[in-house]
Amino acid sequence: MKNILKIFMRDLKTARRDSMALIIIIMPIVLAIGITLFTPGLADTTVNLALLKNDDPAHIQYMENFAKVELFDTRQDAIARVQKRDDVAAVIRKDKSYEIILQGNEPNMVENYAASLSALYETGQTIEASNVTLYSFGQSTSPIKTMLVNMLISMTIMLAGMLIAISIVGEKADNTINAVNVTPVSQTEFVLGKTLLGGFIALVSIIIALLITGYDDINWLMILLVGVSSMALSLIIGFLMGLMSDDVIEAATNVKMIMLPVAGSILGYELLAANWQWTMYWSPFYWAYKANQLVLSKTADWPSVLLSTGMVLLLTLLVYFAAKPKIRKGLS
């Protein structure tokens, strides 16, 4: 334990000089601030309409209740706006009705939304005359924000792994690994010591990022449990990649290879239908992402979190034992 801590402290000092620790701490925080500023705009994406300034003020006011409205002087100006790269529908008075002008490459939803709003206006539907009652569960965070924060956690954990990989390549270049073999430090202590730093700093930055993004009322014990287990996997992979790589080019491409299962697991969880989710069970990143999602959306219960964490640890152990001969070879 003493040796592990010594390696950890030495790495902490070295990392501070190399600004590595600062990167892992600062980057998630900067991204967390970005997510906080970015998501309100991303979540508020109903439909964008281009109207004419000389349109009926009541029509303009009506549409502003339901869509983002931009006003233009002439029909040509509105058409020019429609022809830009984003999805905007122009709604322009034509005889007794309205003409909806589209570029033609928008999803059907844009056309349906613009047409429905116009139809609702023409048939005189108002909020005041509505027979609708709205109830709310009082959730303030949108699923998009939760997804982005979960991705941020995954990226931070992967970043720790990447830094371990590059650090190991550096150690190899400096012949430090060979030097360790003639010291009282065992190979296991060296592995643990090297990985402690990335894990510790990444966890701290994840906690700060969660506080910034407003997830202060989640179950912290659950998120730490998932964080530590997925960190173990990332660090082992980072260590393995570092040992397997002869130079930074190989480390960079190996890191890129790790990104495939990470991105695949996130996409699998988000896009696959419930009856196809089993196809992702092989991936520990899938279980980690799933557990984080449950905790962040405050729908997690202990059996689900323990199952996911258990799967991450089991798959991590499988990776470790499969890679053990290579780790030993790399360290010798």
Partner 1 sequence: MKLLSSYIKEMKIAARGFYFYIEIGMAVIILAVLLFAVNEFPTSSAKEFIYYDMSKEIKSLMLQEELDDGTLELAEPTQIKMKAALFSVKNKETNETKTYTYDEEIYHLDTYKVFDQKTGKLQKTIIETGSEDDLIRLAWQEKTIGAAVGMNEAGEASTRYYLQGYETARFQNLLYILQNESPATLQAAMDGMTITKLENAELLNTRQSLVPLLVVLMGALMGFFIAIAYIFLDKDEGVIRAYAVTPSTVWKYLLSKLLVIITTVIVSSSIFTIPVMGAQPHYLLFYTLLIVSSFAFSSLGILIATFFDSMSKTFGALYVFLIAMMLPAFSYYVPSFDPLWLRFFPTYPLLQGMKEIMMKSTDVNYVLLFSGVYLAGGIFLFLFANLRFKKTLAV
Q: Return the residues of window 108-127 that contact partner 1 according to CB under 8 A.
A: 110-111, 115-120, 122-123, 125-127
Task: Identify the residue among 61, 83, 188, 277 touching partner 1 (CB under 8 A).
Answer: 83
Spatial separation of the C-alpha atoms in residues 88 and 304, rounded to whole Å = 43
- d(CA 15, CA 48) in angstroms, rounded, equals 48
State CA 307 to chain mean position distance: 22
Exactly one of 99, 186, 277, 307 binds partner 1 (CB under 8 A); which one?
99
Cβ distance to partner 1 smaller for residue 58 or 127: 127
Q: How far is the CB of 24 from partner 1 (least distance, A)?
A: 9
**Smallest separation (angstroms) from partner 1 to the CB of 44:** 5
Among 248, 317, 319, 320, binds partner 1 (CB under 8 A): 248
Closest CB 85 distance from partner 1, rounded Å = 6
Interface residue with partner 1, options 3, 200, 250, 320 (CB under 8 A): 250
Residues with Cβ within 8 Å of 298's Cβ and at least 6 positions away in sequence, in order, are 217, 218, 219
**Choice from 105, 182, 325, 332 touching partner 1 (CB under 8 A):** 105
If you ran DSSP here, which 8-state letter would residue 184 be given?
Answer: S
Stretch that binds partner 1, among 50-58, 135-143, 307-315, 322-330 (CB under 8 A): 135-143
277 binds partner 1 (CB under 8 A): no
Q: State how far the Cα of 132 lies from the Cα of 140, in Å rounded to an integer.
A: 22
Q: Is residue 56 a contact point for partner 1 (CB under 8 A)?
A: no
Site for partner 1 contains 94 (CB under 8 A): yes
- At 129 the three-state DSSP class reads coil
Q: What are phi and psi of 51, to 5 degrees?
A: -120, 165
Strand order in the sheet with 68-72: 68-72, 48-52, 88-94
Please state the closest distance from residue 318 (CB atom) to partner 1, in A: 21
CA quadruple 312, 313, 318, 321: dihedral, nearest 10: 140
For the bound state, the minimum distance from the C-beta of residue 69 to partner 1, rounded and expressed in Å, comes to: 10
Q: Segment contacting partner 1 (CB under 8 A): 99-107, 194-202, 227-235, 315-323?
A: 99-107
Task: Give which of 214, 202, 228 is closest to 27, Cα–Cα.
Answer: 202
The mark string for 157-196 relative to partner 1 (x by CB under 8 A, - otherwise) is --x--xx--xx-xx--x-----------------------
For residue 157, CA distances in Å to 200, 254, 303 come to 10, 16, 24
Q: Measured in whole angstroms, how far is the alpha carbon of residue 155 from the centre of its chain?
A: 7
